[in-house]
Amino acid sequence: MPHESQVLAPLAQRRTRRIARLLDRLRGLRGRPLPKDVGRFSEPLRIVIVSDAAPPQVNGVVRTLQQLTANLKAMGHEVTFITPDLFTTVPMPTYPEIRLALFPGRKIARMIRDANPNAIHIATEGPLGLAARRFCVRKGIPFSTSFHTRFAEYLNARTGIPISWGYAFLRRFHAKATALMVATPSLQAELKERGFGEPVIWSRGVDTELYRPRPDLLDAHPQALPRPVFLNVGRVAVEKNIDAFLELDLPGSKMIVGDGPRLDYLKKKFPDAYFAGPLFGEELAAAYAAADVFVFPSKTDTFGLVLIEAMAAGTPVAGYPVQGPGDVLAFTHDGIKAGALDEDLKTACLKALELNRDDARAYAMNFAWDACARQFITNLALEEMPEEPAPAPRQMAEAAV
């Protein structure tokens, strides 16, 4: 039977190696405080990102994570993206476009072990997020989370479940995270007041090469729509408040890009609007660039990535003065040149129509993805995966009998 010291020796060796690596990092830094991001940008990382939101869904969460992954890989990091398409799924009730993973616990644990990550980020609070969180908590592995969606308000709008119940679930979900990332200072302050601890900022960026002005599209509209063209892009769902936009008495045309459970209803109710369905890549970028005003009627979004995409294409934006558009246009004082906010959405649309397209593009250039990716890395909980504990001497002896 092996002596107990023989079993414990590998554990001591691992501790020694970790201490040696830390000393290597500290060498030469004596007398100076250790920066928070030491080692995070100079060394390639293995990062696992778990998300219940993934293609073919078309929303800001999916595009944010896709762009983040691309930037992390360009920086030399290895990213394992765990999404519903890797599991057996069922359609979400009332929202069949969203697929929910069935019983993902064992498989997600195996995938995380195989990835052997330095950091785990859980982006959503769905079945995959819950399974990944449960694995991390059980194994004592630190992880970070992010708050992308007003889950409590959306659940209330769809089912009538009290908002307080939704936030109780969300507080419990994020409580064990080493960092809860949020997109804006106002959301950070709100969640802090709601008892979410100390959220940290992870802003958003835009691909300014894809989403760019295209002057050749500003004469005749590609779909031959009468100008001015007021555009909305996003998930066609009740929480997006698209009815408020389509009901406006505006000159020209209204165009909707996207898919969702409310699409058929809105097509029948507003036959004069042009519904393009979901668009991607160059087609989506062209739709932004060909519009005269981008209209964002939602009052529940935490950020509004589509606002930045529209402005990057040179299209001024209009919306309500609420969290999301209010934060995006308050990044610098020049936000008032790129968009208009008003409690009367029609007034905001007509004000935006008078704004300069060059100013909208210039303002969008403040949102660079490289800086956002670095901010994300700084917020991660870096830790090597613990090895499975060696069996105790008594267990080894019993197994040998």
The least confident of 14-23, 58-67, 273-282, 321-330 is 14-23
* Least confident segment among 39-48, 94-103, 194-203, 306-315: 39-48
Is the pLDDT at 210 greater than 70, yes or no?
yes
- Return the percentage of the chain with pLDDT > 70, whole number: 85
For the ranges 96-105, 160-169, 277-286, the lowest mean pLDDT is seen at 96-105
pLDDT at 160: 87
**Cis status, amide bond into 84, omega within 30 of 0:** no
pLDDT given at position 393: 40
Instruction: Give the pLDDT confidence score for residue 394 in this predicted structure.
Output: 40
Q: Which residue has the higher pLDDT, 394 or 263?
A: 263
Domain layout of the chain by residue ranges? 1-205+368-401, 215-367
HSE at residue 123, side-chain half, CA atoms within 13 A, is: 25
Amino acid at 394: R
Per-residue pLDDT at 40: 52
Residue 386 has pLDDT above 80, yes or no: no
The predicted pLDDT at position 121 comes to 97
Pick from 52, 47, 85: nearest CA to 68: 47
Q: Is the model more confident about 331 or about 183?
A: 183
Q: Which residue has the higher pLDDT, 239 or 311?
A: 311
More confident residue, 387 or 5: 387
pLDDT number for residue 31: 40
Residue 347 banded pLDDT, cuts 50, 70, 90: very high
Indicate whether 159 pLDDT > 70.
yes
3 state SS for the chain: CCCHHHHHHHHHHHHHHHHHHHHHHHCCCCCCCCCCCCCCCCCCCEEEEECCCCCCCCCHHHHHHHHHHHHHHHCCCEEEEECHHHCCEEEECCEEEEEEECCCHHHHHHHHHHHCCCEEEECCCCHHHHHHHHHHHHHCCCCEEECCCCHHHHHHHHHCCCHHHHHHHHHHHHCCCCEEEECCHHHHHHHHHCCCCCCEECCCCECCCCCCCCHHHCCCCCCCCCCCEEEEECCCCHHHCHHHHHCCCCCCEEEEECCCCCHHHHHHHCCCCEEEECCCHHHHHHHHHHCCEEEECCCCCCCCHHHHHHHHCCCCEEECCCCCHHHHCCCCCCHHHHEEECCCHHHHHHHHHCCCHHHHHHHHCCCEHHHHHHHHHHHCCCCCCCCCCCCCHHHHHHHHC
pLDDT tens for each residue of 147-158: 988 888 888 877
Intra-chain end-to-end CA distance of the chain, in Å: 11
Residue 13's pLDDT band (cuts 50, 70, 90):
low
The top-scoring range by mean pLDDT among 15-24, 60-69, 132-141 is: 132-141
Instruction: Please indicate, yes or no, whether the overall pTM of this predicted structure exceeds 0.75.
Output: no
- The CATH architecture that domain 1-205+368-401 belongs to is 3-Layer(aba) Sandwich (3.40)
Same fold, 1-205+368-401 and 215-367: yes
Tell me how many degrees the CA angle 352-311-286 measures, rounded to the nearest 5: 110
Residue 389 has a pLDDT of 54
Q: Which residue has the higher pLDDT, 115 or 149?
A: 115
Average pLDDT over every residue of 101-123: 95
Query: Does residue 153 or residue 7 have the better pLDDT?
Result: 153
Share of the chain above pLDDT 90, in %: 66
CATH topology of domain 215-367: Rossmann fold (3.40.50)
CA distances from 138 to 3, 33, 120, 131, 367 (A): 29, 33, 14, 11, 38
